[in-house]
Amino acid sequence: MTTNELMKSRLKYNRPSLRARARPPKNRTPLGEAFSAANLGRSLKLQYCIDCNRFQYPSQEVCQACLKDNLVWREAVGTGHIISQTALFHSLWEFFKRRTSQKPWPVATVALDQGPIVFTHLDVEAFDDGKMLHVSEKTQVKVFSHYDCSMRSILITTTKETDTQTRETRQQIVARMGLSKPAFRDGGI
């Protein structure tokens, strides 16, 4: 096969996805799967070292401090402050490509009061009638987990006042953000 033909055959697939339904990334490491499982039906559970009495995130095989593996999944409070936040206008993944074509996708890093720094989706609408894309630094927030439509637990940042106690209230926020349904392809056949 000549280079030219090879390029052509590869470019054939280099076009917008024709999938009717696109979903958020499913792929996780075994530790990521464990995080998902631990968080099903819970508001927030993180890895906790019972020797060092400290939380850690992302999930790891050993404790970052003592390098032992006495780790359990423990309920975390989820309060913290925003370190930085941004909105994505471009994504590498079809689900988010379809979402960002409608409106920018907000994400934030949050320092939890209990230690870890977490990377999360940002529930902007909870903050300022949906207009706001400037959650100022050091804003006190709350992080909770819920599953997206790929059935993977994801973290979401919302205001400190928002109720995230029950599965239903969390489900409402996830639905509002567009994470509970696949992104459908525009137009039809």
Partner 1 sequence: MKNYDGVALLSPVSFGYSRQSARSAAWFIGRTFQSVIDNAGVKKEDVDGFAVTSFSLGSDSVVTLTQQFQITPRWIEQFPFGGASGIIALRRAARAIQCGDAEIIACIGGDAAAHRSFEHQASIFSGFTIDASFPYGAGGPNTAFSLITQNYMEKYGTTREDFARISLDQRYNANHYSPALLGHKTLSLNEYMKARQIAGPLHLFDCVMPCAGGEGFLVMSEDRARHLKQPYCVIRSAQELHNAHPTDEIQLRGGWTEFAEALYDTAEVGPDEIDLVQTYDDYPVISMLQLEDLGFCKKGDARVFVQETDMRFDGSGTLSKKLPHNTNGGQLSAGQAGAAAGYLGLNETLRQLTDKAVNNSVPRAKVGLISGFGMINYDRGLCSGAAILARPKI
Contact residues toward partner 1 (CB under 8 A) are 3, 6-7, 10-11, 13-14, 24-25, 27-29, 31-32, 35, 57-59, 83-93, 95-96, 105, 107-109, 111, 117-121, 137, 148, 152, 154-155
Shortest distance, CB of residue 187 to partner 1, whole angstroms? 22
CB of 141 within 8 A of CB of 157?
Answer: yes
Residue 86 or residue 102: which is nearer to partner 1 going by CB? 86
Shortest distance, CB of residue 115 to partner 1, whole angstroms? 10
Shortest distance, CB of residue 133 to partner 1, whole angstroms? 9
Shortest distance, CB of residue 23 to partner 1, whole angstroms? 11
Residue 145's contacts (CB-CB under 8 Å, 6 or more residues apart) are 39, 42, 43, 44, 45, 153, 154, 155, 156
Shortest distance, CB of residue 70 to partner 1, whole angstroms? 20
Residue 86 or residue 165: which is nearer to partner 1 going by CB? 86
Residue 84 or residue 166: which is nearer to partner 1 going by CB? 84
Residue 74 or residue 87: which is nearer to partner 1 going by CB? 87
Rg of the chain over Cα atoms, rounded to whole angstroms, equals 19
Shortest distance, CB of residue 188 to partner 1, whole angstroms? 25
Residue 143 or residue 189: which is nearer to partner 1 going by CB? 143
Residue 87 or residue 132: which is nearer to partner 1 going by CB? 87
Q: In sequence order, what DSSP letters do the residues of the chain get, joined into one string?
A: --HHHHHHHHHTT-S----SEE-------HHHHHHHHHHTT-S-EEEEETTTTEEESS--SS-TTT----EEEEE---EEEEEEEEEES--SSHHHHHHHHHSPEEEEEEEETTS-EEEEEE-GGGTSTTT-----TT-EEEEEEEE-TTS-EEEEEEESSS--SSHHHHHHHHHHHT-SSPEEPSS--
